[in-house]
Amino acid sequence: MYQTARDLMVTTQLERRGIRNKLILEAFSQVPRHKFVPRNLQDQAYSDCALPIGEGQTISQPYMVAKMTSLALLTPKSRVLEIGTGSGYQAAILAEISAEVYTIERIPKIAKYGRQNLQQFNYNNIQLGVGDGTLGWAAEGPFDAILVTAGSPEIPKVLLGQLSNEGLLVVPVEDKLSQVLYSVRRTSEGFEKTRGERCVFVPLIGKYGWEKAPESHD
């Protein structure tokens, strides 16, 4: 039942909206999204929408997860940083495609939930930290891609500084209620910013977000 729903999601929600990367489509076909949502919502796991996971947080709409992943231009050698672990679903998708995934969650209860979800599978290339994701994870950088899964008031400069040469930052930017998805590439001459589509994410909380948050990655 779930595999059929997952295949339909890939066809109707991703491919028909322009997601063509085979690695991404295969990842979405493989990762069981219903294992990353609360049990009472598993029958909605493959619907075309975000779903609540507690503490005011959500698991993003499948298309938006795919779109952000697509903009990151990942390869099997990529080292990726995700800001906002949430349920762990985006990290699992990234882990299917990339060599190394570092993911940070600011809410300990949600971090525990995401960790438990990911532990159901045999990912050995994901490292999860708890703390203020707006600070990035400089000790593990630089990164080939950084994905911010929360709406930021501006493009976080500290994260730009943790990109490798030709690395990409994907981040929703504007206000707390509605954002625009930007991709920013680091080049030898500076940063190239590309404006994308409108989107809606929960607010990015932290020193360089909307409010302060703990700084530990322990």
Q: Establish if 162 belongs to a structural domain.
A: yes
Give the chain's radius of gyration (CA, Å): 16
Place of tokens 């994308």: 196
**What whole-number distance in Å separates Cα of residue 149 and Cα of residue 126?**
17
Q: Establish if 91 belongs to a structural domain.
A: yes
Q: Establish if 115 belongs to a structural domain.
A: yes
Q: Establish if 23 belongs to a structural domain.
A: no
- Residue-by-residue pLDDT tens, the chain, 218 positions: 899 999 999 999 999 999 999 999 999 999 999 999 999 999 999 999 999 999 999 999 999 999 999 999 999 999 999 999 999 999 999 999 999 999 999 999 999 999 999 999 989 999 999 999 999 999 999 999 999 999 999 999 999 999 999 999 999 999 988 999 999 999 999 999 999 999 999 999 999 998 764 444 44
**φ, ψ of residue 180 in degrees (nearest 5):** -120, 135
Q: Establish if 164 belongs to a structural domain.
A: yes
pTM as predicted? 0.94
Place of tokens 């698991």: 59
CATH number for the domain spanning 67: value is 3.40.50.150
Biggest CA pair distance of the chain: 51
Q: Establish if 36 belongs to a structural domain.
A: no
| Catalytic-role residue among 29, 47, 60, 188 | 60
Query: Could you list the residue range(s) of the whole structural domain that residue 195 is in?
Result: 48-199
pLDDT of residue 212: 60
DSSP one-letter string for 91-152: HHHHHHH-SEEEEEES-HHHHHHHHHHHTTS---SEEEEES-GGG--GGG--EEEEEE-SBB
Place of tokens 């979800």: 117
Q: Establish if 126 belongs to a structural domain.
A: yes
Count CB atoms within 10 A of the CB of residue 104: 23
Run of H or E including 114? helix 108-118
- If one counts the domains in the chain, the total is 1
Strand partners, 143: 163
Active site residue 60: yes
pLDDT of residue 211: 77
92's CB contacts (< 8 A; 6+ apart) are 31, 36, 117, 118, 121, 123, 126
pLDDT of residue 218: 47
Q: Establish if 52 belongs to a structural domain.
A: yes
